[in-house]
Amino acid sequence: MSLELYTDSLKIRSLMPEDWPHFLSVHQDEQQNRYVRAPQSEGVIREKFDQRLTPWHYESGAWLTLAIETIDGGEFIGFTGFYCVDASLGQVEMGYMLSRSGQGRGYATESLKAVIDWACLQFKVHKFIALCTDNNLASARVLEKCGFVLEGTLRHNFRLNQTWVDDRYYGLLASERPDSPQ
């Protein structure tokens, strides 16, 4: 499936082999990953990239990974996407990771809203979920701007750099998303 979505300032498109240098850079940047994961080898990152290049379908259990770039100039911004957690429940988990240059400009919110709207039109999504570590306040703000509600905290849910961290569990019902047709 080849996909292109457009917002006022962004083009959100299917991952392509040419995105490898950006994918590697974002996944190797320790500052960007401080709330996400411990550093990974290039081989592990390459395997993840190659898996995400394979044809995707909703019920595959695999991530749909989309590249984000600006419309004017094609500046690389980052990646966004989702995977179907449970098709029978219409539940998907959202994710995003922006380059340092793409952060703080509203692009995470803009791209996430576009992907949520597209997913609602294409699939029978009932609920979107997202997790972020407790200290990742910027990511929490993005989710809240998109209409996600903090549903709880999963204590010591994740081990990051040999330390247990809490995850914030966010949910957004498709029917409650901002600007959704009721």
Among the ranges given (28-37, 57-66, 68-77), the one the predictor scored with the smallest mean pLDDT: 28-37
Q: What is the mean pLDDT of residues 53-79?
A: 94
Q: Do the strands 64-70 and 163-173 form a parallel or antiparallel pair, or are they unpaired? A: unpaired
* Residue 69: pLDDT band with limits 50, 70, 90: very high
| pLDDT value for 182 | 47
Q: Name which residue leads in pLDDT, 22 or 38.
A: 22
109-149 pLDDT tens trace: 999 999 999 999 999 999 999 999 999 999 999 999 999 99
Q: What residue spans define the domains of the chain? A: 4-176
Q: Is the pLDDT at 64 greater than 70, yes or no?
A: yes
Q: What separation in angstroms does the CA of 91 have from each of 116, 130, 172?
A: 12, 11, 10
| pTM of the predicted structure, to 2 decimals | 0.92
111 Cβ contact list (under 8 Å, min separation 6): 7, 10, 12, 66, 68, 77, 78, 80, 96
121-130 pLDDT tens trace: 999 999 999 9
* Residue 1: pLDDT band with limits 50, 70, 90: low
At the fourth CATH level, the homologous superfamily of domain 4-176 is Gcn5-related N-acetyltransferase (GNAT) (3.40.630.30)
